[in-house]
Amino acid sequence: MPSRDLPANVKSIVAEIETEIGEEDSANGLSAALTPAAAIEGDGATRAGTGTGNRRLEAAVRGILREIGEDPDREGLRGTPGRVHRMYAELTAGYHVDPERLINGAVYDVDYSEMVVVKEIPFYSLCEHHLLPFFGTAAVAYIPKGRVIGLSKIPRIVEMYARRLQVQERLTQQVADFLQARLGPGGTGVVIEATHLCAVMRGIRKPGTVMTTSHVLGLFRTSEKTRAEFFAHLARQAPGT
């Protein structure tokens, strides 16, 4: 069970991922009505949380600023260590999401066995190698065996894993494995396309570079016809585009 001793801004993001509008959220003391705007009100201690770990993180940021030749005490940088701490807490809030609360019973018995595809799911994540963002879209598909999951849960699953330190290959695999384990479908397929700032801002510095990863299980792996149907869905434009 993830810890609930979190700063208000992180609690807000976790609640947003875990709960639907109108769901009761009293079991673990999180307020489903807490909005990101409300979470950032109040003093710095409330926003960032308290504790020795937080002080260490902010001291580390001050050390980085000095190392690159900056003065962490100048006006523009004085609040930067606290801001960086809050930022990383928010961008890694996925570590604190409880999968059971995310699913919240939204798996239904439905007599349906054709492919379900949810695509163009936007996400933002942090590359664990350089702590720089990578971002793009995910497409998720599965073949039900009498059980389907609520539509909004699929983007939430992507968000749960994206808000962690990641590599794109593992993110792709985790989303597919989660659905396969929770639903027991005939198969699951996930394709992610993303731009990595570590390749755009540094290193090879090639703007426009896009990385594509896929992970397929069950029929998506064993049946060429199923796999071809999945990729055909991805090639179709969404209505209104």
pLDDT in tens, 4-35: 678 888 999 999 999 875 555 444 444 333 33
Rounded to an integer, what distance in angstroms lies between the CA atom of residue 37 and that of residue 39? 5
Model-level pTM?
0.84
Catalytic residue among 166, 168, 173, 174: 168
**Which pLDDT belongs to residue 190?**
98
129 counts as catalytic: yes
Residues sharing a CB contact under 8 Å with residue 60, sequence separation 6 or more, in sequence order: none
Catalytic residue among 58, 196, 215, 229: 196
Catalytic residue among 16, 70, 130, 193: 130
130 counts as catalytic: yes
Q: Which domains does the chain have, with CATH numbers?
A: 8-96 (1.10.286.10), 106-235 (3.30.1130.10)
Identify the residue with better confidence: 89 or 53. 89
Residues sharing a CB contact under 8 Å with residue 67, sequence separation 6 or more, in sequence order: none
196 counts as catalytic: yes
Q: Give percent of the chain above pLDDT 70.
A: 84
**Which pLDDT belongs to residue 163?**
98
Catalytic residue among 20, 23, 41, 128: 128
pLDDT above 80: residue 77: yes
CB distance 163 to 125 below 8 Å: yes
Rounded to an integer, what distance in angstroms lies between the CA atom of residue 10 and that of residue 177? 26
The one-letter amino acid at 56: R
**Which pLDDT belongs to residue 84?**
96
**Which pLDDT belongs to residue 168?**
98
What angle in degrees, to the nearest 10, is found between the helix axes of 168-183 and 153-162?
Answer: 140
Rounded to an integer, what distance in angstroms lies between the CA atom of residue 63 and that of residue 79? 14
What angle in degrees, to the nearest 10, is found between the helix axes of 153-162 and 8-18?
Answer: 140
Catalytic residue among 127, 166, 174, 180: 127
**Which pLDDT belongs to residue 33?**
34
User: In whole numbers, what is the pLDDT of the chain averaged over residues?
Assistant: 87
CB distance 163 to 197 below 8 Å: no
198 counts as catalytic: yes
**Which pLDDT band holds residue 47 (cuts at 50, 70, 90)?**
very low
pLDDT above 60: residue 1: no
On the CB side of 120, CA atoms within 13 Å amount to: 8
**Which pLDDT band holds residue 150 (cuts at 50, 70, 90)?**
very high
pLDDT above 90: residue 42: no
Rounded to an integer, what distance in angstroms lies between the CA atom of residue 131 and that of residue 65? 16
